[in-house]
Amino acid sequence: MIEQRHHDEAAAMVKASGWADDHSEAFRWGLEYAIAWTLAGRPTTPEQNINTACPYADRTAEKDAWHSGFQLGKNNTTAPESMGA
């Protein structure tokens, strides 16, 4: 289960590293969610999957940005240095 501590740690990692400095808020939220999800052991509960976690409506730029951030975080949280930290 993703707990608040996972979200807090993810937000701190993103802020300290500057990984989302040149991106939208939606991108940053997706990135932070992916990192929190990974820190929590990648739970697969229905309420915490990628489709239900995204707060944005379908067919919007914000949803696209959130998913882009999520993919970057999901693919790189085991090797943060690959994200330019």
Question: How far from 28 is each of 23, 36, 37, 45, 46, CA to CA, in Å?
Answer: 7, 12, 14, 23, 22
| pTM score of the predicted model | 0.84
The mean pLDDT value of the chain amounts to 86
Residues 7-38 have pLDDT tens digits of 999 999 999 989 899 999 999 999 999 999 99
Sequence-ordered list of residues with C-beta below 8 angstroms from that of 12, at least 6 positions apart, any chain:
none
Asked if residue 58 has pLDDT above 80, the reply is: yes
Kindly state the average pLDDT of the residues 56-81: 84
Comparing 3-7, 32-36, 46-50, the range with the smallest average pLDDT is 46-50
